[in-house]
């Protein structure tokens, strides 16, 4: 079947509910981890979805990114705060769209991408998503290790010593501990990860509130004025301020890009679409507002209490905790920050590539083997963070990875909601029948690959090409819009040039 015939046929398919068992699935497209989740095994309510986002928001990397945006945007802190909240509202809308198909059909992103990319072509976007997640996994593992190092240094009075790749002995010991801990939790299964998240989320907020109280007591009347004054720059006014405001929104959206595209990996476990949406709302705009408020005041207050004028504000909360010189707080903070960062790493950067790698060769790579591959490659990437990757800065790192994923989101949404109008058959995503609607040409929708490639090149260029640097904060939004637009144009051209197929 040609791409054009498949595209036209797919639009005329009748909608069918998800199946608890897919009839005669092709071995190369199916294993236990990729199969639809039966309704009786979908146990996630709004609270479980809320905790996915709570842990994503309150990781050490999340705090560091928010604090970095306060410092680098050149705006009054309250404006940056508002921009981050608007980003949360926008992301909430985006994930409701990407999560709905998987709630309906019970399959992960690696499968729900097949109608747009082809039953075999979907291996490509899944691989791209997996590679990006592995990079994030390594970065988050490093950030989590700084929490463990905080506790060791507080207890051992900073033993110091020589460094290798930017980390001293304590740093490397901490890094190995975190890497091993994550694999141990992962091997216990999705239920263990769920219980882990349910504990870690509230614990981190408790520690951050205690830290804020300690800092606010010492800062006194200087605290609230500092929130607006210490981040603002006289050079950022007029249109520059407007651009910076929306750039903050764009960068925060890019931070969530990895979960936005593959949110179906989690929503497939939701009891209903209603519970998914409630969990998304409380976990994104609501939780993000509270966390950003804490980040804003802790960062500003720490500058007032612990730093001299002219110094850059501290953007890593472990550095701030260290300044309190409280061994007890350092140990408690280390444990909770570790739990939160490990939690989001498992959810956002471990589970998705495990599915994606399993999708490459379902008969050879299981979900567990995919997880081990992720852990091994991520360990190398995280070990190189300080020596190499950190030089680019966290916002640039976030925007680059977001730009790579954004076109895939645009294609997914346009295909499911615009081209197919939500009419997708579960069993058609698991067949290699050349007459199947998602087989296209040899299992690949080449037009979709072209759309993704062109959009990704331009989106990444906005981050790294000086002539487009004014668009850097908008890399994800640009990539998603271009990806969806190019895909729609290709599919419509193919549909109008092909004869109308007979539909039984």
User: Over the stretch 125-169, which tens digit does the pLDDT of each residue have?
Assistant: 878 888 888 888 888 888 888 888 888 888 787 776 767 777 889
Q: pLDDT at position 134, please?
A: 85
How far, in Å, CA of 255 to CA of 132, rounded?
Answer: 12
Per-residue tokens: 90: 């926008």
Residue 189 pLDDT grade (very low, low, confident, very high; cuts 50, 70, 90): low
Q: pLDDT at position 23, please?
A: 47
Whether 412 is in a domain gets the answer yes
Whether 32 is in a domain gets the answer yes
Per-residue tokens: 197: 């998240």
Average pLDDT over residues 182-195: 72
Per-residue tokens: 236: 């950022």
Dump pLDDT digits (tens) for 282-329. 989 998 899 889 888 888 888 888 877 667 788 877 788 778 777 777
More confident residue, 385 or 370: 370
Per-residue tokens: 421: 């109008």
CB of 348 closer than 8 Å to CB of 136: yes
How far, in Å, CA of 15 to CA of 422, rounded?
Answer: 7
Distance set, CA 145 to CA 31, 161, 189 (Å): 34, 17, 23
Axis crossing angle, helix 475-497 with helix 3-11, rounded to the nearest 10? 100
| Structural domain boundaries enclosing 479 | 3-497
Whether 224 is in a domain gets the answer yes
Whether 503 is in a domain gets the answer no
Whether 109 is in a domain gets the answer yes
CB of 370 closer than 8 Å to CB of 351: no
Per-residue tokens: 248: 């903050």
End-to-end CA distance of the chain: 16
Given a cut of 70, whether residue 394 has pLDDT beyond it is no
Q: pLDDT at position 19, please?
A: 42
Task: Rank 85-99, 191-205, 349-363 by mean pLDDT and report only the highest.
Answer: 85-99
Whether 502 is in a domain gets the answer no
Average pLDDT over residues 39-63: 82
DSSP count for the chain of H helices, then E strands: 22, 2
CATH number for the domain that contains residue 388: 1.10.4160.10
Whether 477 is in a domain gets the answer yes
Q: How many domains does the chain have?
A: 1
Given a cut of 80, whether residue 20 has pLDDT beyond it is no
Whether 504 is in a domain gets the answer no
Given a cut of 80, whether residue 439 has pLDDT beyond it is yes
How far, in Å, CA of 474 to CA of 480, rounded?
Answer: 10
Given a cut of 50, whether residue 1 has pLDDT beyond it is no
Q: pLDDT at position 497, please?
A: 44
Q: pLDDT at position 206, please?
A: 80
Q: pLDDT at position 4, please?
A: 43
Give strand pairing partners of 270.
Answer: 44
* Single pTM value for the model: 0.79
Given a cut of 90, whether residue 190 has pLDDT beyond it is no
Q: pLDDT at position 421, please?
A: 93
Closest CA to 126 of 400, 351, 375: 351
Per-residue tokens: 241: 């301020």
Mean pLDDT of the chain: 81
Residue 370 pLDDT grade (very low, low, confident, very high; cuts 50, 70, 90): confident
Residue 500 pLDDT grade (very low, low, confident, very high; cuts 50, 70, 90): very low
- DSSP 8-state assignment for residue 166: T
């Amino acid at each position: 079947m040609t791409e054009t015939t498949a595209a036209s046929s797919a639009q005329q398919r009748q909608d069918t509910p998800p199946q608890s068992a897919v009839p005669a699935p092709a071995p190369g497209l199916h294993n236990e981890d990729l199969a639809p989740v039966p309704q009786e095994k979908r146990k996630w309510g709004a609270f479980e979805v809320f905790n996915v986002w709570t842990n994503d928001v309150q990781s050490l990397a999340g705090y560091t990114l928010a604090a970095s945006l306060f410092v680098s945007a050149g705006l009054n802190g309250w404006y940056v705060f508002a921009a981050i909240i608007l980003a949360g509202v926008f992301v909430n809308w985006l994930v409701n769209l990407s999560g709905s198909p998987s709630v309906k059909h019970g399959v992960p992103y690696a499968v729900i991408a097949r109608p747009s990319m082809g039953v075999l072509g979907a291996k490509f976007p899944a691989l791209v998503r997996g590679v990006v997640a592995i990079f994030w996994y390594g970065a988050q593992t490093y950030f989590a290790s700084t929490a463990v190092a905080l506790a060791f240094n507080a207890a051992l009075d900073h033993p110091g010593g020589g460094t290798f790749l930017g980390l001293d002995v304590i740093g490397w010991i901490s890094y190995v501990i975190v890497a091993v801990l994550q694999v141990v939790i992962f091997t216990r299964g999705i239920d263990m990860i769920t219980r882990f998240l349910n504990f870690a989320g509230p614990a981190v907020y408790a520690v951050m509130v205690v830290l804020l109280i300690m800092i606010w007591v010492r800062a006194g009347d200087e605290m609230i004025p500092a929130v607006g004054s210490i981040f603002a720059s006289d050079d950022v006014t007029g249109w520059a301020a407007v651009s910076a405001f929306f750039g903050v929104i764009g960068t925060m959206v890019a931070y969530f890009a990895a979960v936005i595209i593959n949110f179906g990996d989690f929503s497939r476990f939701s009891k209903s679409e209603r519970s998914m949406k409630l969990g998304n709302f409380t976990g994104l705009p609501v939780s993000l507002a509270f966390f950003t408020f804490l980040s804003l005041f802790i960062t500003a207050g720490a500058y007032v209490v612990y730093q001299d004028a002219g110094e850059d504000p501290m953007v890593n909360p472990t550095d701030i905790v260290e300044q309190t010189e409280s061994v007890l707080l350092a140990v408690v903070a280390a444990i909770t920050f570790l739990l939160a960062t490990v939690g989001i790493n498992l959810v956002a950067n471990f589970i998705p590539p495990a599915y994606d790698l399993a999708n490459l060769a379902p008969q050879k790579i299981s979900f567990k083997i995919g997880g081990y591959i992720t852990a091994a490659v991520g360990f190398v990437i995280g070990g190189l963070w300080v020596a190499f990757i950190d030089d680019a800065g966290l916002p640039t790192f976030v925007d680059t990875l977001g730009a790579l994923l954004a076109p895939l989101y645009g294609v997914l949404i346009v295909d499911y909601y615009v081209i197919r109008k939500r009419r997708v058959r579960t069993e058609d995503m698991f067949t290699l029948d050349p007459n199947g609607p998602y087989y296209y040409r040899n299992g690949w929708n080449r037009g979709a690959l072209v759309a993704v490639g062109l959009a990704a090149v331009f989106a990444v260029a906005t981050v790294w090409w000086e002539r487009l640097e004014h668009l850097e904060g908008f890399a994800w939004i640009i990539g998603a819009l271009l990806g969806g637009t190019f895909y729609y144009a290709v599919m419509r051209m193919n549909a109008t040039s092909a004869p109308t197929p007979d539909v039984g």
